[in-house]
Structures are given as structure tokens and as C-alpha cells.
Structure 1
Amino acid sequence: MRYNHEIKFFSEGKRKYNPVTSQYDGSSELIADVMGNVTDVGADRTVQLFGNIVQGVKVVRLVEPIENVWAYLTIDDKPTKYRMRTTTIPLKNVSILVGEDVGKG
């Protein structure tokens, strides 16, 4: 298995909602930058897991788990944010099932 994608994990712990401006103040903080293997989840498997077809679901495999609490991740410095759906830690590696972040600021 090749770990050929750069995975960046971000925390939003310092961001606070401002009711006056209806926006979040503060910025996200990079907490980890690791190499990983990324594959798409097929339509058949998505239906088995979620009961319907969900777009933008990926499996991210890492050598070691990320110990810090993270809010979202990016893959290869692309602007799409992915949020965790589930994770498994078998004997080797770590598998994280992530979905595209839709509608969050």
C-alpha cells in the first residue's frame, strides 16, 4: 500500500461564533501533517454503510493514529474539507472513513 497523499488535520478549538456578525471568529489550527493512502468508497459499499448513496466518501489509511482531537482534514492541499464519519484501528494501520464537509463555514 502506497502512502502517497498529504493529509492535513485541523482543529477549530479557538474558533468562536460571533452572534453580531453571524460568522465564526478565529482561524483553524494545523495539528498534524502526515502521509496517507486515500481511496474512494464505491456506491455499493456506501449503500451498505449508510443506507443510501452519499457523495464524496473516502477511506483514509494512516500508519499511526492522530492523538489530538481534530475537526476536519484536507487531502493534498485541496480546498475540500472532510469530516470524520467513523474510524477503525486494526492490528496494522488506521482507517478513517470521511465525508465531504457540506455547508459548514
Structure 2
Amino acid sequence: KKRYIPEQGYSTGTELVTSRMANVTDLGTNRSIQLFGDVDTSRKVIRLMVPVGTNWSYCKIEGKKYRQVTATNALKGHSMIVGEYHG
């Protein structure tokens, strides 16, 4: 994808896109208050069998962008909480 950066000129960054099967649910209000001290209805919990394994800037769920807020690795799988990203 080619884009213009004023200080550098045109940049040809690579855009890696992949899809993963995951269980995605909304983060409940009670849990949001327990973990973060506020209610943000845009947060979601993503559960995967294995961690993503690479650095990523955002994920898309139903056309909206989300960024990782926290992540947990357990014996039964990997889970992360993501928040909506407007960038």
C-alpha cells in the first residue's frame, strides 16, 4: 500500500492481512469496572486456541478496528481484551 509521508515522501509499507477463528464476546460492564475502573461498551474479549504470535497493530471485527488492551496465556488457550480503535 503506497502512501505519502511529508517528511519522507512516498512510503510503500506492507499490509499483512490474515484471518483467525476465534470466540469473540462483549466484555461485561461488571468485569469492565473490575479490570479498568470504568464502563467502556466497545471492549471485546477474544479467545484463541494459540496466541497470534506476531506483532500486530489492530484487528477487525465486523468492520471495526480494535487494539489489544490486555492478554492472558493459559493452558486451555489464549485470551485478550481489545478496545475499539479510531485511527
Tell me if TM exceeds 0.5: yes
Query: What pairs with 1:1-105 in structure 2 (closer than 5 Å)?
Result: 18-19=5-6, 26=13, 28-30=15-17, 32-75=18-61, 78-102=62-86, 104=87
Q: What is the TM-score normalised by the length of structure 1? A: 0.68
Equivalent residue pairs, number:
84
SS in 2 for 1:52: coil
Does structure 2 retain, via aligned residues, the 8 Å contact 1:60–1:98?
yes
Q: CA 1:16 to 1:50, structure 2 compared with 1: closer, same or farther past 3 Å?
A: farther
Which of the pair has the greater relative contact order for Cα pairs under 8 Å at 6+ separation?
A: 1
* Structure 1: unaligned runs, 5 residues or longer: 1-13
Q: CA 1:84 to 1:17, structure 2 compared with 1: closer, same or farther past 3 Å?
A: farther
Does structure 2 retain, via aligned residues, the 8 Å contact 1:15–1:28?
no
Cα shift readout 1:35-88 (whole Å, capped 9, x = no counterpart): 01011111111111111111211100001111111111112xx22001000100
SS in 1 for 2:52: coil
| 4+ residue runs over 6 A deviation | 14-17
Q: CA RMSD in A?
A: 2.5
Q: What is the TM-score normalised by the length of structure 2? A: 0.81
